[in-house]
Amino acid sequence: MEPILPLAIDLPAERQRDLVRSLHRQLQGAILDGRLQPGFRMPPTRKLAEELGISRNSVVSAFDLLFSQGYLVARQGSGTFVADHLPVRPGDACGDAAARMAGRLNTYWQHRVAQPARAPLRAHRFDFRVGLPDTQLFPHETWRRLACAAMRSLSKERTDYADVAGRPELRQAIAAHVSFARAIACDDADVVVTSGAQQAFDLIARILVEPGTTRVAVEDPGYPPARDAFAAAGARLVTVPMDADGLRVDCIPADVGVILTTPSHQFPLGTVMSQRRRAELLDFAHAHRMAVVEDDYDGEFRFGGRPLDALRTVDERHAVFYVGTFSKSLFPALRLGYIVPPSWAVPALVGAKRLGNGHNPSLEQLTLAAFIREGHLARHVRRARRVYGERRAALEQAIARHGTAWLSPVHTDVGLHMAAHLREDLPADAVVAAAAIRGVAVRDLGAYRLEGRCSGLVLGIGMIGVEDVERGVEQLCQAIAEVAGGA
């Protein structure tokens, strides 16, 4: 058979991090060398991925970079073509100088592919995207009233830089909140306010990672932005598999310095770490002097049974950094989170934050402090939990009615998403693409893996109404059937 591209593509070994970068570089070079002439019609991403033996996501990422740089153009109804007017060739003197200077980047950033600006997400009729709460449930009018009061309060203050660890009012409110909601005994001195959970991971990585030396155990599959924060700090990541009880402690090497885990609702599988496994993890961490980073990103949304204690609650050996966020319980744009660290780490965390953004905006902090203090957070979570509980039940029932031939859900009674394994011979990326054509947005479970592969989907319940769940699952299963029929 004739190749679908008139050139040879030599890609690095499977799972190597710079696969997308290498494909992008070779296609860009072929365009600039004239091997791919202006007006040449590029093959469909799926066919090219099949020929190269890589995931379609990798090809799409390389194409997106070429689009953003002006090397490719899309013609509606016709396909993707090499642009008629190409950007300046990067091999000129200017480009060579830039390439030489790029060597000043540290090793991590030299091997990161620059991502194009995020395009607006296309609206989907059935939106099962992951990690997004329903902001329509949020009491916006209450927040507006509290924000106005906070602004009046700030107008009476002397203009100054705020406390690096966070406004005392918010740290006191957070301490009271986690003491009530997660049984974590702490006061305002034990809390460091951050710009969401991502800054929390970044700060913890800065103070715990010795670049090139510290090994960090991460769940696989796991949450990419958290592990990326540690990798960017110079950590050597060690992947650890999961089972029904959570993180496999018996698979963690003894020379690891930090363990990153999501025990209350594993991301993305959704399992809850058992009590026995939690005790095993803390004992192991203590025996080998390891720090544990506990990411509790949506544990407040539990739909049955009593929640297990947080690791930080039962940690008597000062090893656990508890990370919380308001992105799921309130709204992502708020960008406020917090760390409840061991006491020995507080000065270092505050120092690292001082070197970064210094402090968070006071208006949002004061507004959130009043929102928590007056009981609005607790009331909002109770209301949202009822709504999300109905959606989760509808999702489970719909999969049971329409998807048993294709999907095996991972049972969980907590959080804003559910994972489901696909029949092993079905490619999840093809299912995701086929579902999108039918107006269904879902996520490929394999996108969260660092090693190996898994065929599955992740479905969020934050953005879809209960009345649309069954029809959405029905459309998803029809998409799966189409892929299975063409497999």
pLDDT value of position 117: 46
Closest CA to 380 of 323, 303, 297, 300: 300
pLDDT in tens, 233-257: 999 999 999 999 999 999 999 999 9
- 320-325/291-296 β-pairing: parallel
For the stretch 342-372, what's the b/e string if a residue is b when 16 or more beta carbons lie within 10 angstroms of its beta carbon? beebbeebbebbeeeeebbebebbbbbbbbb
pLDDT in tens, 268-283: 999 999 999 999 999 9
Handedness of CA 165, 171, 172, 176 (dihedral sign): negative
Residue 370 reports pLDDT greater than 90: yes
pLDDT in tens, 118-148: 444 556 899 999 989 999 999 999 999 999 9
pLDDT in tens, 335-350: 999 999 999 999 999 9
Alpha helices in 288-375, H assignment, sequence order:
311-314, 346-355, 362-373
Residue 77 reports pLDDT greater than 90: no
pLDDT value of position 437: 92
pLDDT value of position 169: 96
Closest CA to 443 of 197, 127, 224, 227: 127
Report the alpha-carbon distance of residue 361 to residue 380 in Å, rounded.
23
Report the alpha-carbon distance of residue 278 to residue 271 in Å, rounded.
13
Q: Which domains, ranges and CATH numbers included, belong to the chain?
A: 19-110 (1.10.10.10), 126-135+379-486 (3.90.1150.10), 157-374 (3.40.640.10)
Q: CB atoms < 10 A from the CB of 134, how many?
A: 17
In Å, how far from its chain's centre is CA 265? 13
pLDDT, average across residues 29-46: 90
Report the alpha-carbon distance of residue 423 to residue 446 in Å, rounded.
13
Q: Helix or strand or coil: residue 475?
A: helix
8 Å CB contact between 242 and 219: yes
pLDDT in tens, 165-188: 999 999 999 999 999 989 999 999
Report the alpha-carbon distance of residue 67 to residue 73 in Å, rounded.
6
pLDDT value of position 2: 56
Handedness of CA 287, 290, 291, 293 (dihedral sign): negative
Handedness of CA 393, 443, 408, 298 (dihedral sign): negative
Residue 88 reports pLDDT greater than 80: no
Q: Give first-to-last CA distance, the chain, whole Å.
A: 20
Percent over 90 (pLDDT), the chain: 67
Look at the pTM and tell me if it is higher than 0.85. no
pLDDT, average across residues 211-223: 96
Q: Which residues pair with 74 in a beta bridge?
A: 80
At a CB cut-off of 8 Å and minimum separation 6, what does 188 contact? 168, 171, 172, 174, 175
Q: Name the pLDDT band for 99 (thresholds 50, 70, 90).
A: low
Question: Lowest-confidence range among 103-112, 151-160, 262-271, 405-414?
Answer: 103-112
pLDDT value of position 425: 75
pLDDT value of position 296: 95
pLDDT in tens, 7-20: 888 887 655 557 88
In Å, how far from its chain's centre is CA 75? 32
Report the alpha-carbon distance of residue 379 to residue 377 in Å, rounded.
5
Residue 108 reports pLDDT greater than 70: yes
pLDDT value of position 120: 47
- Of residues 106 and 374, more confidence is placed in 374
On average, the pLDDT of the chain sits at: 89
8 Å CB contact between 347 and 319: no
pLDDT value of position 119: 43
Q: Name the pLDDT band for 53 (thresholds 50, 70, 90).
A: confident
For the stretch 17-45, what's the b/e string if a residue is b when 16 or more beta carbons lie within 10 angstroms of its beta carbon? eebbbbbbebbbebbbeeebeeebebbeb
Residue 92 reports pLDDT greater than 90: no
Give the CA-trace dihedral at 258, 264, 269, 274, to 10 degrees.
90
Report the alpha-carbon distance of residue 154 to residue 156 in Å, rounded.
5
- Of residues 356 and 287, more confidence is placed in 287
The CA distances from residue 139 to 130, 136, 146, 332, in Å, are 22, 8, 11, 15
pLDDT in tens, 388-433: 999 999 999 999 999 999 999 998 889 999 999 998 778 999 999 9
Report the alpha-carbon distance of residue 232 to residue 239 in Å, rounded.
16
Rg of the Cα atoms in the chain: 24
- Of residues 289 and 356, more confidence is placed in 289
Q: Which tokens is 479 given?
A: 């998409």
pLDDT in tens, 439-470: 999 999 999 998 877 889 999 999 999 999 99
